Amino acid sequence: MITQIETLLNEQVSYESRASAQYLAMANWADIKGYNGIAEFFYAQSEEERVHMVKLIKFINERNGKAVIPATEKPREEYTSLMELFETFLTNEEFVTEKINHVIFKCLELKDYNVHNFMQWYVAEQLEEEAIARNLLDKLRIIGDDKSGHYLFDRDIMEYQGRKSEG
């Protein structure tokens, strides 16, 4: 594997790992506050990011590269509102998308079409995750500070999560 690409993929491993830890902390925050649906949503999101990370690790090693397991920095634990929680989610996903786009740009530049092909799965995942984050933020903007709205928002997410895990 081209060394420059291997380095970028290993950096991507660390971004996915950071996202997984961050979403776990967000699930924890929501759980403590009593938002059970939102907690389930972020527990699942954290799990998904871990899957993204492991997929990259296996791919690097299969291609005769050497995956590096990153140190995890302590994620942010406190949020002032649901709005801030979901804004952080979107910002984080936008950051990851930017990094994935950079890997793809480099693959084309260095003509590594195999990695380019592999990364398409991540592009599709990012599109979906950013759309979910934007959709939830739109709903929160409509709800504003209404407490019963927050209650219903949490319940809707719980139902959505339930349907998702049933497949």
Residue ranges that bind ligand OFO, judged by CB under 6 A: 16, 19, 49, 52, 93, 96, 122, 125-126, 129
d(CA 157, CA 138): 14
Please state, as a whole number, how many other Cβ atoms lie within 10 Å of the Cβ of residue 71: 7
Shortest Å, Cβ 166 to ligand OFO: 22
Whose Cβ is closer to ligand OFO: residue 24's or residue 150's?
24
* DSSP string of 108-158, one letter each residue: HHTT-HHHHHHHHHHHHHHHHHHHHHHHHHHHHHHHTT-HHHHHHHHHHHH
Shortest Å, Cβ 128 to ligand OFO: 9
Whose Cβ is closer to ligand OFO: residue 52's or residue 150's?
52
Whose Cβ is closer to ligand OFO: residue 95's or residue 146's?
95
Buried/exposed code over 39-59 (b: 16+ C-beta within 10 A; e: otherwise): bbbbbebbeebbebbebbbeb
Whose Cβ is closer to ligand OFO: residue 101's or residue 149's?
101
Shortest Å, Cβ 19 to ligand OFO: 5
Residues 101 and 93: beta-carbon distance below 8 Å: no
Shortest Å, Cβ 144 to ligand OFO: 27
Q: Of 98, 112, 136, which Cα lies nearest the Cα of 3? A: 112
Shortest Å, Cβ 153 to ligand OFO: 21
Whose Cβ is closer to ligand OFO: residue 19's or residue 39's?
19
Query: Radius of gyration (Cα) for the chain, nearest Å?
Result: 17
